[in-house]
Amino acid sequence: MRFAPVGLASALFMTGCGAGASSGSDNQEELARDYVAAINARDGERLCALMTRAAAAELTVRIVPCDRAVAGFIG
């Protein structure tokens, strides 16, 4: 199913990217492309790096760090 990764990408992007993301990029189009590329590559570490710290912290589940939790959502 292609809709699950796209839905996840949309939800996480709306809440977790933008000003303050640790990517260092102010170009939102570039940030969006990087975000989708990380999802397509199933790269949880890169995906969390593109999020704000607050969003990454919300996705950290108990003792499971953001990158592993997000990779599990991606599949």
Each residue's pLDDT tens digit, 9-66: 555 554 554 444 444 556 899 999 999 999 999 999 999 999 998 988 888 877 888 8
Q: Give the start-to-end residue ranges of the domains of the chain.
A: 3-74
Stated length of the chain: 75
Structural contact between residues 73 and 8, judged by C-beta atoms closer than 8 angstroms:
yes
How far is the C-alpha of 27 from the C-alpha of 55, rounded, in Å? 19
How far is the C-alpha of 36 from the C-alpha of 30, rounded, in Å? 10
Burial readout 16-37 (b: 16 or more C-beta within 10 A, e: otherwise): bbbeebebeeeeeeebeebbbe
Q: What is the pTM of this model?
A: 0.60
